[in-house]
Structure 1
Amino acid sequence: MTRERPKLILVHEPEKACFDRLVGDGHTRERAAEIASYLAQSTDIAPDFDALADACLKRGLSFAPVELDAAASVLAGEHPGTALVWTLTDGIAYFRGGAAPALARLGGFKTIGADDSLFALCQDKFRSGAVLGALGLPVPPAGLARNGKWLVEPPASAAGWFVKPNRLGAKIGIWPDSRSLDLGHALELSRRVFLAYGDDVVVQPYVAGRNVRASFLGVAPGAGVEALGVAFVDSGADFQTMADSLALYGETGEAAKAAGNYAEPELVAVSESQPVADARIRAIAARLMEGLGLRDVFSIDLRVEADDTVHLIEFEVCPGLPCFDFRAYCRSQWDLELADAMAETAATRLF
């Protein structure tokens, strides 16, 4: 009897499926398109599927990309001993990818990534901030507002506040005026976010510094913070807006490339100019891995000041694998293109 080849199953929620569902739930088409754009990595990774299949085959695996709505039926037909589930897109509110690792656990499948409880935690910025603070990590404290009313008042801040959606999936501020110099304006932003997206907002003291992305993929078994890629992400802007995000990823990003308007932020290793900050970021990552359970694949967003003060902004259990920064990380840290890095990671878990 021929033994079934081990299989990597990549579960993802497509932009269009999300868009159609959001429109059906009453969102305007414009807002639904903006919300669904957070799933652009499903769009951006599709051209890599053939390369992923080839890279898996070279390592004795088969590869199956599976859309989220088909995940339950596909997993029902697989054997837990020969299949590995990798969830590409997360979400607990506007997106539903957090169901995939839960389905995998229900079926007894091995998984790449954190357990499903962290998929829920990282998508609620207010709750995750409370947990990160309890772990002693340098996360800015936060207030929470809904449609112009405080649920939790934010702390005082001489530098003003930063206002961002609570569950919409990213650290972005949506609009250029998301840095607020008074709390009345912060409440007005909460009304705008609620009207447009139906979400609460997190209101944190504004922290200065350069934006940093720390990326991790455990290609080699037992890899630790030494395998973390820590880079300044310099776009020329203080923070990313919805418009900035749309210009980089998914169908809008492809259109920007075709029109010659696409410009990737510059990536510069933090260790080159601020080795103390680099060491502090690796210590934060170690604490997240030990105390929170991050593993296999994740990213961390931070702000770093010139005096090496580090502010932890958020963590992600489903980093944008096909994004320019993660591809660059795979090349610099592992000397592999994305498809080979993913296939190698899966092979080390299945054999």
Structure 2
Amino acid sequence: MTGQRPTLILVHEPERACRDRLLADGFSQKAATEISSYLAQSTDLAPEFGALADACARRGLDFRAVELDDAAVAMAACDRKTTLVWTLTDGIAYFRGGAAPALARLNGLATIGADDSLFALCQDKFRAGAVLAALGLPVPLAGLARGGRWLVEPPASSSGYFVKPNRLGAKIGIWKDSRCSVANEALVLGRRVFDAYRDDVIVQPYVAGRNVRASFLAVDIDAGPQALGIVFVDSGGDFQTMADSMALYGETGSAARAEGRYAEPELVAVGSLQPRAAEKIRQIAARLTTGLGLRDVFSLDFRVEADDTVYLIEFEVCPGLPCFDFRDYCRTEWRLGLADAMAETAARRLLR
């Protein structure tokens, strides 16, 4: 693809492609369906590709949605001066989207989002936590277990532990009993995760408080932490489980809608209830942009206690753009629907 007309390339890995690959690798149908649901935003955004193309056209851009398996050929044919690559779905282990920003760099193409090194880092919670701690950020200490043995023992904890897969997102492998009392119980949970998903588990001291999501999209190129959308995400429980997540997004979310099981968590602006906590989160985001290199589009997950104590749990370089919380952020912060917010973000970079 050559020529002078500016073009936005949106690279995504579909659920079905991931599921077929996992099945071929010997995963059970159940595990493959659960794991591939991480890529639900490809499923959920696909019906809006036409709206994205229209929104881009109104701003003088062409739009092209490219499946990951076709990305290498597509990018090799792109005009370096007029192409912008936006990676919709990331991944380094069970998912492969982290290859897209690396391919863009290989072909000398401009990108939306962080550089490819962060696409790898954010997918490994244990390594990411070590880097975040080195930056002086408030992350819980962690142990790491593989099957039924410790690779790194967790710190002592009077509040118990929280156990989750190290390289799986979208709450995959998080069950109602993922909070446990003692380290030995964490090893049992680790064995269950390993048997189902072949993944290590990260084991952290349980952190009290409410779940908070901070979303960011630099529709304005110069936007900073003040453009963050910071909300409590209340799903009715202490933490969101795999079942909760799968009932909201992708192919399984569509089925939940059809069966009347779809219910979005409540979103409440943190600043309206705990402004000091919201300001701490903005300061953390500023540190992540300067010290880690987050930019353009990302999300951050926190636990916030009633006394404004803030814990950074993890960061995402490919937030779920079609998810209810990110759509709400685009409407609230930028007064735009998702397609227009994405098109405007791309246009301001390509046409600057």
What range is the shorter-chain TM-score in? over 0.9
Aligned equivalents of 1:85 and 1:61: distance in 2?
13
TM-score by length of structure 2 reads: 0.98
Q: Please give the secondary structure, in 1, of the residue aligned with 2:174.
A: coil
Q: Please give the secondary structure, in 1, of the residue aligned with 2:238.
A: coil
CA drift at 1:274: 0.2
Matches within 5 A, 1:120-135: 120-135=120-135
Q: Please give the secondary structure, in 1, of the residue aligned with 2:78.
A: coil
Aligned equivalents of 1:156 and 1:305: distance in 2?
20
Q: Please give the secondary structure, in 1, of the residue aligned with 2:208.
A: coil
Identity %: 75
Once the two structures are superposed, residues 32-86 of structure 1 have per-residue CA deviations (whole angstroms, 9 ceiling, x without a partner) of 0100000000000011101100000000000000000000001111111111000
Aligned equivalents of 1:221 and 1:131: distance in 2?
27
Q: Please give the secondary structure, in 2, of the residue aligned with 1:311.
A: strand
Higher mean displacement: 306-315 or 75-84: 75-84
Q: Please give the secondary structure, in 1, of the residue aligned with 2:314.
A: strand
CA drift at 1:173: 5.3
CA drift at 1:301: 0.2
Q: Please give the secondary structure, in 1, of the residue aligned with 2:97.
A: coil
Q: Which runs of 5+ in 1 are unaligned?
A: none
TM-score by length of structure 1 reads: 0.98
What corresponds to 1:107 in structure 2? 107
Aligned equivalents of 1:171 and 1:41: distance in 2?
14
Matches within 5 A, 1:66-145: 66-145=66-145
Matches within 5 A, 1:150-161: 150-161=150-161
Aligned partners of 2:85 and 2:111 also within 8 Å: yes
Aligned equivalents of 1:51 and 1:172: distance in 2?
30
CA drift at 1:4: 2.7
What corresponds to 2:168 in structure 1? 168
Once the two structures are superposed, residues 221-245 of structure 1 have per-residue CA deviations (whole angstroms, 9 ceiling, x without a partner) of 1100010000000111111111111
Aligned partners of 1:123 and 1:167 also within 8 Å: yes
Q: How many residues align?
A: 350
Aligned equivalents of 1:295 and 1:209: distance in 2?
27
Q: CA RMSD in A?
A: 1.0
The list of structure 1 runs, each at least 4 consecutive aligned residues, that deviate by more than 6 angstroms after superposition, is none
What corresponds to 2:348 in structure 1? 348
Matches within 5 A, 1:1-351: 4-170=4-170, 174-351=174-351
- Matched letter for residue 107 of structure 2: G
Aligned partners of 1:248 and 1:264 also within 8 Å: yes
Q: Please give the secondary structure, in 1, of the residue aligned with 2:311.
A: strand
- Matched letter for residue 56 of structure 1: C
- Matched letter for residue 288 of structure 1: L
Once the two structures are superposed, residues 169-227 of structure 1 have per-residue CA deviations (whole angstroms, 9 ceiling, x without a partner) of 24565211000101111000110000000000000000000000000000001100010
Aligned equivalents of 2:287 and 2:76: distance in 1?
36
Aligned equivalents of 1:102 and 1:170: distance in 2?
23
Once the two structures are superposed, residues 304-326 of structure 1 have per-residue CA deviations (whole angstroms, 9 ceiling, x without a partner) of 00000000000000000000000
